[in-house]
Structure 1
């Protein structure tokens, strides 16, 4: 593989390692330990939409509703805001988290959902939100820096960003890291293209004025906007 001019999509470190798994190429950053699917294997926008439409997430599914409630309750307990201007970033074809908040919570001034594919007529304004959630969405970002730049622009100063994604924990050497990644279930979703280490996500967000605050759960982290 020719690595000339290829750099990490999280920390911009020059890339030197790749994994070839099931005829797909993944790049590994030895600086921040994040992994990226090579662009040539990205689904088309049409195929991504078709894949997302297969998701049958509704609040009528009690297990899914409990999952959402657990997530948002943990986030709200930490941020402890009296009145919230809220955006669910990447809300999908069925904005269940938005619906849940409208149904269950009363300390919100504004409740919005935005999605690249499913909210074509809604354009969230810059510096408008005190809390943005990104629930199992960051792994879909084809250009993480562009996406987190956008998120940061929408967040008010001192506002909070809650991100939940499955972090990949590398082994001590590249060979065992590749073996572990090859058997990792999370990469099997064809719309998952970016796989973060915690360090890689922090590095990426830091570039856009987003400061890491805490890790609430294995895969749930909170940032605040400082710039």
Structure 2
């Protein structure tokens, strides 16, 4: 039996489809794909290269504004931010710069600026990224280490609703999506890493370091 990659509790078999098996942790409520099914780095990048993240695309900007707008309500001009996992066409960081913020981009494939991970920020954004964490305990530790007390963390990821809905969920069809969170998982993360958690939209959460 596998152990949860987030909290190390023993996991239970959850759902299986023609591509891979998924497991559920009864402790932190994480659902995760069988690690044996994870793509190698080259395969991951091949998938990411198919994404069309165009900063000039109004529809993409509207999508990202579902995080940007409520986050900006909590920020002041000139604050220092990091877009963690910015992808091949950084757009959210551009939108936040247009709103008066000072931004840095990081992405392990497209902006591998590891110096950006050696400091702390007033806020960090992470849109459609945390579901790609193959080592979530490590990755969440790295992510939250970027926050000082009072800093904000903006997350966008679709949440698990139920086992029945998960079985036919399009979100798990992406082979680079390997971990899936529920509201209860974010409650666990808040307790583990000292974060308050507010769900501001169905797939948008804003956390604050205490």
TM-score by length of 2: 0.91
In the aligned structure 2, how far is the partner of 1:99 from the partner of 1:50? 24
Q: How many Å apart are 1:118 and its aligned residue?
A: 1.4
Q: Deviations over 1:97-126 (max 9, x none)?
A: 122223x212x2x31111111122442144
2:105 matched to 1:113? yes
Matched residue of 2:131: which SS? Answer: helix
Q: What corresponds to 1:32 in structure 2?
A: 28
What is the number of equivalent residue pairs in this alignment? 210
Gaps of 5+ in 2: none
1:220 to 1:69, Cα distance in 2 relative to 1, 3 A: closer
Structure showing greater radius of gyration is 1
Q: Deviations over 1:73-103 (max 9, x none)?
A: 12111x243531100110011111122223x
CA contact under 8 A between 1:11 and 1:203: conserved in structure 2? Answer: no
Q: What corresponds to 2:85 in structure 1?
A: 90
Q: Which of 195, 207, 210 in structure 2 is aligned with 1:223?
A: 207
Q: What corresponds to 2:68 in structure 1?
A: 72
Q: How many Å apart are 1:30 and its aligned residue?
A: 2.6
TM-score by length of 1: 0.85
Gaps of 5+ in 1: 171-176
1:80 to 1:98, Cα distance in 2 relative to 1, 3 A: closer
2:131 matched to 1:142? no
CA contact under 8 A between 2:156 and 2:203: conserved in structure 1? Answer: yes
In the aligned structure 2, how far is the partner of 1:125 from the partner of 1:38? 28
Matches within 5 A, 1:1-227: 3=1, 6-77=2-73, 79-102=74-97, 104-106=98-100, 108=101, 110-170=102-162, 177=163, 179-209=164-194, 211-226=195-210
In the aligned structure 2, how far is the partner of 1:8 from the partner of 1:120? 28
CA contact under 8 A between 1:144 and 1:204: conserved in structure 2? Answer: no
